[in-house]
Structure 1
């Protein structure tokens, strides 16, 4: 897609050409229409009036033919009028209805011209304001909260330009304890293999040529997906992708630069730009030379991919990662095998199995790229996270974080019902990217086997000279002393190398617990004692590595089981503060995530700033769609099976409260506020709601309604969480009785082979010597199992003691609880006609989503009455395709 500045200029010029032509057509139509109505007005005979209107409408400019009425073909109306010449059964009322139909259709053409002209003026206002602001200024949004932005820049500079020396001897001792001197011989051996693998990676670096046009394309695509570059450089890189000759030339230059990398130097100071994010926080983005950016992107990707490969092989070696299943003692496992059978002792599919599989596949090492990420078109292109830590390159974080919320919610429901207390910890590191000490980075990399040749190159990148785009001319560049370059593959490589150590430390020091980490944001939940050990481990790591926790995002919550008393967090050395994410927090009393009204108050203030900074109607619509709708929805949980109607109603009520505060003068209505803005600026009143909310492809402004997204699920959400788990308990008791019955039927003697327990059966045919127990997969009560021979079947309490590890039924219930509801299908009346309208407008109809169907249905009657159909403006008189492209470009830039 062309850059938004090019689209803006093009749309501005095209609209400027089309508006005068539109006005000419409108004036010609209105003049001819008025003449026709005056002629008709002097005709007393109702049949002749209809005849005159019908014949005269065909002569009006801009009308090829009148639209058919839903109940009859308009082309047949002339036949009906002719019939009325002689047939007295055609009453005056029927003729009056025909006349009204024709007049209404003439008026709909007037409405289309009026709103097409309004639309053109809105586009003209929008493109004019964007041109005045400059393409890279984000339409005035950069200037928001100037004082606050200055304070954040001062904080950033305090980190970046002031080195923090860490005790490298202490870091090495910490790493020795984790790896080289680990009590597990498997860990020591596997880690030595990791070092050898990284050594071999460096040795083989120069054996092949690194760059060709496909690799350059992959690097460019990675950079474009990182959302860190300016709009103008995005346009330049997109241009590179379209020219194979340019790609080949760049590849040749990059291979030459790679061959001389030992003498690599940066191409002058790196210019940084400060941008305010959706949550009010600022990020500091580098604006580097494009070729240097591609070169470093490749090196960072290669190292990050290799690090992931090495760490994956290390942790997949037998005996390296501790498993949650170790919570089950050997004696407990032995008893379950004897009484339930070998296959049923740990059947798989348990709660812990689900968590372990998800953690390994979606969380652990997930921030590091795969080799396929270097291939164009393979990388994930979901929206970047909009709240919290947004410095990283991986765009899946918001989606994964929401999955974590669902998983935690399901875990809490399960554990409360099975009478287990639960602790949840959430935290992240304060200003992680800017604050990460270089000495910690280099100590860890050196420990993993990275050689000095590469450390020297990395040091040049990390200690780059920095200036700011907004600084006065002649400002002296300053060298970075701390932190990593935001949003780059090298930043991912540096950060993940350090943070892997805490992943592994938590696993080792808690005997199998898993740290659910998304970049530097992390979650830990389960038994209180385990979480307490995990928090101690995190605290030790942060102290050794020279990092600080973000107190505003650090907290713990202890959720007692049903009927249990609350515990004192201080006893277990847990962090104070609430467990928060986005606009929600975990409530200890209910064990549910609820809207964090304090965060909402902050959000309302930021939303007000964004909306007030809008320079045009379209900017207001974009600001509302991003900050008033998408931001709110992305920072609340998605609707899943465990979401109760009370939680859903709380989100809906919060939305109403937000709008009532932001739009006090308009009775809490965004559409009334927008209508008033249009009325004040363009003098147009009586604007139908559908004109505001309909998609731009149908001639609407595309204003989004967050209430609709949530109301899609109102009838799906459960009335309460009390019903959950009821069927599980019933199935669990049935399974216990069935297992007990099978055990007692099999007995503990070899009746099927005629042997008694302890008889010598050596030399006998193994197949003929199988007892009923062995055939069913139960150990024989001999040898090491002899002590259990006379034991009665395990009690129900023992059977259910380790449900999270041993129960397939509980695992199934758990996974069902955090599955998402499918959106209900919304049917559209007369979809065939609607499809024709869409096809004529966009020529790529693929179907409406359920939100669009809801909007179309909600306002269809109003739009058809006003415009004679669902399309609000005259097609062809405005550059609808350019408008759509520019809207998408602006959304991508600001999102």
Structure 2
């Protein structure tokens, strides 16, 4: 393992070393003075004399958090009060020895608490020193087994680091062209736009793209400091460039002179766009790079200026195509969905109920598709990352799920689970299909790509540029000029062009599925999901199979599966049309019974690998980093975020799974992470009796910031629906009550009102007066369009989709002053703490106060805050031996 010292700047290390020296100096001074005071106190002749010595020492000693006015004032007042009580005791016989002894014991406790603060501050710095020491030994020496069970689901497991095999497979794909029939592709796509309305929309899309192509090419000096910074920030967020290139890019953003020079070069290059080339006669090196999730990917070593230049072009085209193509799903006449009410049916509904049909579940889901899921991988501007796999990096992103790929997936997972519950309850059956495309970007046929771009109206001069981009000169060895070959298939992954080209092709699949099966395919780049009426799902799946065949793509069978749920009367012929395999999102799997269960086989395999990865950590802090990344974030996301549609059983399953994982990880330590770490600290630093609070306390208060994976679920556990089906039962009652009330209101109507309703809902045509003699319409007619118009069903849908509200813990009056002190000493009040930290701080408040005399361990001024900030931003890579 490489030294973590390289991660810290020399300036940061120097500041940390200075703080550590100051901490050690304060500790030595305090302990020396304390020993003198205690020795004098022990030699005192009586209790009053002993208290006098301790009181004097308490006033003179320099405590670790001296200088905080709130704390200083409290110490001063305490000492002044005791001094007055002591003076009273010399005159007043009623002041007993037990009172005096109590004051003396209190002073000794405060001195001991201060020693504890110094001891654990010292341990804190020693732990940091271990983290930056390249010679530190792994916590555990574990032997690797030669064979492992396969990791199912989203990972492809490889027994050894066979990177040569990966290179060979990659080369076998990208240097061998796959020629598809461009005429067949064009005819296939054209068949989706045969009617006059669709043809007109297609013509408008093509015209828009043609005009944009001209406008973009005419731009003069498009690159300036602001544009460059936007491009650079996007490139720093993804994995396209290696670490050295990213470091260089980061330096660019702080140097306006350099940015101006770069802008001049790129503007000259843009002015001669037709003659652009890679300018890489020696070939661009393609190397396997490990991603944060542990997968190896073949990544291109791209020139920095080329990366900026191409990113600008690709994102502008992404923005244009996303805008142009958005007219299709937003057009009710073009985009097909559930059967709609006829004008006659709307009039009858208006006549019997007195109100117009309201927007229902299907309308809301379509709005969500258009606003959130539609081409979600495509950035809308240079400021938009458009990352379909992005994480919730901050509180804002976590609060707004539409801001990150992970958030959108969690949002869709809830929608999928809710749809399954509602459709099965209302119709007795539902189907879900999941799939993925094999090596999609890597193996995309160039002939398919250019046929699709032409179909959308991209002009030939731009296709010529895109062809030069796609046909890059590559080499698979580190030696410049060695065995350079032209790419004939696929496109570089993780850059904006992958998104542009990939989404341009895959949106054609969205259109095909919709036009040929009346369904909306939910897609996160090349991850595909269908959910709905089983026959429609089967037809849609066959449409996907036909689509990939025409366009020369491949289904990834290892990530393809389906679940066909039914209450009675399974259709075996229909079942045979669905692909075999499970339906999973992360480690949450839809069972054949219709429940969402955690895939314990995947969990067990990940836990075994995590155990090895933790054992290979060279320091306690790197161990905690790995723990927090995997147990604190990874498993939380892959188990699915709790919601009403999963019910209380899902939360209980997560908690039990975490308990089981910890039993496996710490089998010889009673299943306790703190017991394990306590033993490691004793062995490595000879520090005994480490309190639990030191592990879990946030770093800004002098703790190690170990994340407790149980707490995020306990803070919301009580606010999740016990059973989602209870909400469906409630909906049925609401629906029948609404029908009964509407029926009673109708019966009470006068003939004049009825006649007015006929005119308002159905018009004055002669055939409609016959409705005046009808009884109130049937419950079947009233509920025929539930998904489209039921207010009650929409309410149930919203409730099932809802995430639980966190239920805070509340500090009792006894501890509130302690948090007031914390606010003054560390600048953080109770109300500024996160929900999890409120739980932790309140849980360990008594232990902290008894052990350290405060709710913090280390003085804020002595905390290495710069190091801690970098600790939180440092990524942890899964060491799973996987590749794609």
Q: Quick check: 1:354 aligned with 2:371? A: no
Question: Residues of 1 paired with 2:743 and 2:772: CA distance?
Answer: 15
Q: Match of 2:397?
A: none
Q: Match of 2:259?
A: 247
Q: Quick check: 1:502 aligned with 2:514? A: no
Alignment of 1:348-497 (within 5 A): 348-370=358-380, 373-375=381-383, 384-385=390-391, 396-467=404-475, 471=478, 476-497=483-504
Q: In the alignment, which of 100, 103, 108 is matched to residue 98 of structure 1?
A: 103
Native 8 Å contact 1:15 1:124 kept in 2? no
Q: Quick check: 1:211 aligned with 2:223? A: yes
Q: Quick check: 1:573 aligned with 2:572? A: no
Native 8 Å contact 2:678 2:690 kept in 1? yes
Question: Residues of 1 paired with 2:390 and 2:74: CA distance?
Answer: 47
Report the RMSD for the aligned CA atoms in angstroms: 3.3
Q: Match of 1:54?
A: 55
How far residue 315 of structure 1 moved from its aligned partner, in angstroms, is 4.6
Q: 1:784 to 1:496 in 2, by over 3 A?
A: farther
How far residue 872 of structure 1 moved from its aligned partner, in angstroms, is 1.2
Q: Quick check: 1:523 aligned with 2:529? A: yes
Native 8 Å contact 1:325 1:352 kept in 2? no
Q: In the alignment, which of 880, 883, 890 is matched to residue 867 of structure 2?
A: 883
SS of 1:869 mapped into structure 2 = coil
Q: 1:624 to 1:197 in 2, by over 3 A?
A: same
Bigger shift: residues 821-830 or 253-262: 821-830
How far residue 786 of structure 1 moved from its aligned partner, in angstroms, is 5.8
Q: In the alignment, which of 196, 211, 224 is matched to residue 185 of structure 1?
A: 196
Q: Match of 1:174?
A: 188
Question: Residues of 2 paired with 1:541 and 1:339: CA distance?
Answer: 40
SS of 2:596 mapped into structure 1 = strand
SS of 1:549 mapped into structure 2 = coil
Q: In the alignment, which of 583, 608, 612 is matched to residue 609 of structure 1?
A: 612
Q: In the alignment, which of 701, 726, 729 is matched to residue 726 of structure 1?
A: 729
Question: Residues of 2 paired with 1:608 and 1:518: CA distance?
Answer: 32
**1:254-292, CA deviations, whole angstroms, 9 ceiling, x for partnerless residues?**
110101122222253434453434544323444422211
How far residue 37 of structure 1 moved from its aligned partner, in angstroms, is 1.3
Question: Residues of 2 paired with 1:342 and 1:248: CA distance?
Answer: 70
Q: Quick check: 1:620 aligned with 2:623? A: yes
Q: Quick check: 1:582 aligned with 2:586? A: yes
SS of 1:426 mapped into structure 2 = strand
Native 8 Å contact 1:346 1:805 kept in 2? no
How far residue 30 of structure 1 moved from its aligned partner, in angstroms, is 1.7
Native 8 Å contact 2:344 2:762 kept in 1? no
How far residue 200 of structure 1 moved from its aligned partner, in angstroms, is 1.6
Q: Match of 2:781?
A: 798
Question: Residues of 1 paired with 2:353 and 2:498: CA distance?
Answer: 46
Native 8 Å contact 1:342 1:779 kept in 2? no
Native 8 Å contact 1:432 1:547 kept in 2? yes
Q: Match of 1:600?
A: 603
Question: Residues of 2 paired with 1:841 and 1:468: CA distance?
Answer: 54
How far residue 121 of structure 1 moved from its aligned partner, in angstroms, is 1.4
How far residue 611 of structure 1 moved from its aligned partner, in angstroms, is 1.4
Native 8 Å contact 2:587 2:603 kept in 1? yes
**1:631-661, CA deviations, whole angstroms, 9 ceiling, x for partnerless residues?**
0001122122233222211111111111111
SS of 1:369 mapped into structure 2 = coil
SS of 2:133 mapped into structure 1 = helix
SS of 2:433 mapped into structure 1 = strand
How far residue 319 of structure 1 moved from its aligned partner, in angstroms, is 2.4
Q: Match of 1:864?
A: 849
Alignment of 1:268-417 (within 5 A): 268=280, 269-272=283-286, 274-277=288-291, 279-317=293-331, 319-326=333-340, 330=342, 334-341=344-351, 347-370=357-380, 373-375=381-383, 384-385=390-391, 396-417=404-425
How far residue 825 of structure 1 moved from its aligned partner, in angstroms, is 2.4
How far residue 485 of structure 1 moved from its aligned partner, in angstroms, is 1.8
Q: Match of 2:150?
A: none
Question: Residues of 2 paired with 1:381 and 1:35: CA distance?
Answer: 63
Q: 1:21 to 1:338 in 2, by over 3 A?
A: closer
**1:459-507, CA deviations, whole angstroms, 9 ceiling, x for partnerless residues?**
23223234569x5788645543332222211111000000000000111
SS of 1:876 mapped into structure 2 = helix
Q: Quick check: 1:234 aligned with 2:217? A: no
Q: Match of 1:850?
A: 835
Alignment of 1:781-796 (within 5 A): 782-785=765-768, 788=771, 790-796=773-779
Q: Match of 1:136?
A: none
Q: Quick check: 1:32 aligned with 2:33? A: yes
Question: Residues of 2 paired with 1:245 and 1:797: CA distance?
Answer: 73
**1:307-330, CA deviations, whole angstroms, 9 ceiling, x for partnerless residues?**
11221235545622123244x5x4
Native 8 Å contact 1:68 1:74 kept in 2? no
Q: 1:461 to 1:421 in 2, by over 3 A?
A: same
Q: Match of 1:73?
A: 78
Native 8 Å contact 2:440 2:553 kept in 1? yes
Native 8 Å contact 1:274 1:285 kept in 2? yes
Question: Residues of 1 paired with 2:164 and 2:94: CA distance?
Answer: 81
Alignment of 1:644-659 (within 5 A): 644-659=647-662
Q: In the alignment, which of 757, 771, 777 is matched to residue 773 of structure 1?
A: 757
Q: In the alignment, which of 225, 246, 249 is matched to residue 237 of structure 2?
A: 225
Give the structure-1-normalised TM-score: 0.87
SS of 1:723 mapped into structure 2 = helix
Q: 1:74 to 1:146 in 2, by over 3 A?
A: farther
Native 8 Å contact 2:328 2:335 kept in 1? no
Q: Match of 1:821?
A: 804
Question: Residues of 2 paired with 1:131 and 1:226: CA distance?
Answer: 31
Question: Residues of 1 paired with 2:797 and 2:553: CA distance?
Answer: 36
The count of corresponding residues between Structure 1 and Structure 2 is 840
Question: Residues of 2 paired with 1:79 and 1:212: CA distance?
Answer: 72
How far residue 116 of structure 1 moved from its aligned partner, in angstroms, is 1.4
Give the structure-2-normalised TM-score: 0.88
How far residue 89 of structure 1 moved from its aligned partner, in angstroms, is 2.1
**1:801-852, CA deviations, whole angstroms, 9 ceiling, x for partnerless residues?**
3321231211121122101122112334555653653564468998111011
Q: Match of 2:122?
A: 117
Native 8 Å contact 1:277 1:386 kept in 2? no
Q: 1:272 to 1:708 in 2, by over 3 A?
A: farther
Native 8 Å contact 1:381 1:395 kept in 2? no
Question: Residues of 2 paired with 1:866 and 1:385: CA distance?
Answer: 38
How far residue 457 of structure 1 moved from its aligned partner, in angstroms, is 2.1
Question: Residues of 2 paired with 1:290 and 1:844: CA distance?
Answer: 45
Q: In the alignment, which of 805, 818, 837 is matched to residue 822 of structure 2?
A: 837
How far residue 675 of structure 1 moved from its aligned partner, in angstroms, is 1.9
Q: 1:145 to 1:291 in 2, by over 3 A?
A: farther
Native 8 Å contact 2:348 2:762 kept in 1? yes
Question: Residues of 1 paired with 2:433 and 2:548: CA distance?
Answer: 16
Q: 1:88 to 1:227 in 2, by over 3 A?
A: farther
Question: Residues of 1 paired with 2:804 and 2:73: CA distance?
Answer: 40
SS of 1:288 mapped into structure 2 = coil
Q: In the alignment, which of 564, 573, 592 is matched to residue 558 of structure 1?
A: 564
Q: 1:410 to 1:316 in 2, by over 3 A?
A: closer
Native 8 Å contact 1:219 1:298 kept in 2? yes
How far residue 335 of structure 1 moved from its aligned partner, in angstroms, is 3.8
Question: Residues of 1 paired with 2:767 and 2:239: CA distance?
Answer: 63
Q: 1:116 to 1:273 in 2, by over 3 A?
A: farther
